[in-house]
Structure 1
Amino acid sequence: MPIKVLMPALSPTMTEGTLAKWLKKEGDQVSSGDVIAEIETDKATMEVESADEGILGKIVVPDGTEGVKVNEVIGYLLEEGEDASAIEQGGESKPAPKPETPKEEPKAEAPKEQPKQEAPKAEAKPATQPAAADKGERLFVSPLARRMAEQAGLDLAAVTGSGPNGRIVKADIEAALSKGGAKAPAAAAGAPQAAAPAAAAALPQSNPDVPGLPSYTEVPNSSMRKVIAKRLTESKLTAPHFYLTIDCEIDKLLAVRKELNEKAGDSGYKLSVNDLVIRATALALKKVPAANATWTESAIRIYDQVDISVAVAIDEGLITPVIRDAGSKGLVEISAEMKDLAKRARERKLKPEEFQGGTFSISNLGMFGIKDFAAVINPPQGAILAVGAGEQRPVVKNGALAIATVMSCTLSVDHRVVDGAIGAEFLAAFKKLIEDPMTMLL
């Protein structure tokens, strides 16, 4: 009996995903453990391994299909001695019987009931034709690139992909549009019938209801953007935020960083200010464990281990890879791990356990020149530290005016978990470490 290949749940919260690409073709031999497809979740692109072996007899869900529900049939494996007919006999998924319906109706009943069957045929063609066309073209296109091409009416067949295996990505679409890429007549013809409302919403429009409002372009929300919107709205509505800001002089920290990097030589590491901030945060949380906590309805959870989530900006939004047990790691180890996590985050290659489950967050916008800001707490965590840019400011030392490099840091706190005194105690410990960085090396 054919073996169903199901859409996997790649994280505890995943309900649907995008089947980015099949790595096996129909007719290919599949062994247990072979990587057969790439699945895009809201945060990462992950490879899916086959748990069974056989021949990939049918691909039910083609490349680039979005919104595929967990446990939905995406393909079939044939066991030894079976052929494609076994899928029609033993398969229970809805996609399998669909091709039989239009074949039987024209032969048996089309001459007698043509007026009654015209409406169903008109509805069926727009729904099935695009999928069949995509499958026939065998184009490898990222979901974002496909949406951009549809919005612009661009013919994907005329675009050369620069991604892995010739996959068409966002940059390829932008390049084609800048050169005046060929329009897609099939998509233009099908749009009024199959997806008129969606296509109209995605194209530049003017709004006659609001005089003076300029025309606009709607960019469809990605899965990641929807999750960000949901979680941060939940955070602001349910967690009573309050904010504490402290200024840290970082001249000594910059000098220590410079000295350590010079001594590194050819050893390969290069410490950043962010690496030192992560180290200081971890040590401060070990000194004030009450700030390393989350809220539940029955109790406040104070964690024994400091797992720091660090915000990393990627094309479609934000992701927070986690430095596990940061309190027990040195600067060089933190630096190497952070560089690796950030690189794979931008490539959307992180595993769920690498960006879920942190106990405290850091968001650093200093590299963009932002002086200070207040970040939104990453639920269910109890606090997040927003780090601004170091800049020279006038300060008073020993009753005299002087110049120092000052970095403003703002702690956003869930008042259900952390009171003002605990937040202040944490920031005082953090400031002491930042201003006397040699203590971080002990």
Structure 2
Amino acid sequence: MKEDFLHYVWQHQYFDKTNLQTEAGESVTVLKPGYRNADAGPDFLNARLQLGEVEWNGAVEIHLRASDWHRHQHQTDPKYDQVVLHVVYAADQEVQRTNGSVIPVLALAWRLSPEMLNTYHRLLEQPEPAALPCAPLLPVVPDITRTMMAERALLERVEQKAVVVAALHETLAHDWEATAYHALAAGFGFQKNSEPLARLAKALPLSVLRRHRHDLLQTEALLFGQAGFLAEQPATAADEYIGSLRKEYSFMRHKYQLPTALPGHEWNFLRLRPANFPPVRLGQLAAVLHARPTLFAPLLSAGSVAVLEQFFQAPVSDYWRQHFRPGKPGKVPALGRSSVHLLVTNVVVPLRVAYARQTGQAELVESAVGLLEQLPAEHNHLTEPYERLGFRHRTAADSQGLLALSHGYCQPRRCLHCAIGSRILQQNPVRS
């Protein structure tokens, strides 16, 4: 058993309250269980309890064993002096506040429903490969509960991504155009190379790129040079185009005192299709930066995915339509719709939500999620188990919700924090 199970039981009062007493034999009446404390200190604050003839307002601390109080050194921490009741599974030790006064203990071991305990253990003891611990118990969960939980998880996932964008915006002196550039650069890494592309954006300020965005050759020279792809090597010794990029980059690097280029080992080529090689993505990013005078305003105002598809369909230079990497020829496909859809999901939507949160424009959050509802669903090994169990999966909004369920709840076994898991446990609670 984990402590968060007792948190859940106390919060919802899912235990037998018949003749409720402390270990010292004092009667207990729960008038208000309090609210969960997300910060340091006791688990529940502002609880109202009647112990014997006296009504108390204070905090409740929860442990599996009473002795955990001393194991966590609460007896020396003044924050825990406000605790008026110590709720435990097993009362194996008397505990005190910093002044030595004894804290009443309520043990719940025999007050919990055996059926609920059995259900809880079934959820947590599913073998590790099981995608959904609750899969065998799902028939008791209404479709509306599943849908609402997936939607909640979707919003949490979008918000988490927006928090990352907001932090980036903070480091960039609150410049939304620069934020869009950095987010877009990382997005063009498509997971495998998002980190090195994010570092490339830091090594190549937008202020420098702006001065040369009118010239595609110079834009490519800056990007490929700072990425480390223009270093001298036998494969490009006779390559005139790479030679011209190298010449442009050498001049601009000294002019702007750019930092050292990224080392070659930063880039990931392993298990990537040639169309996803970093130089291919850099060529596509250079085309967008060259073709679009501004980034943030179009990404913020686009009313549909179709408009965003046009935004990203910028003409790539002839060389990067015919080379997968410097000096290595081959026919390269254009930026595909599926790639654009990933950019919408991982760049445009979080960018818009972060801006909406800062400016207080709640309607922008709704429009951002609306973009996901215009995109087709994503099918992979994480969404497949949910589809098989009948979860709604029609659009990218559904896909993102299912991915959020998998990463945020099912894989870490956070069933007690999930509406689906909560609904299952509610089938056998003990209340009075």
Smaller-chain TM-score range? under 0.3
More helix by share: 2
TM-score normalised according to structure 2 size: 0.20
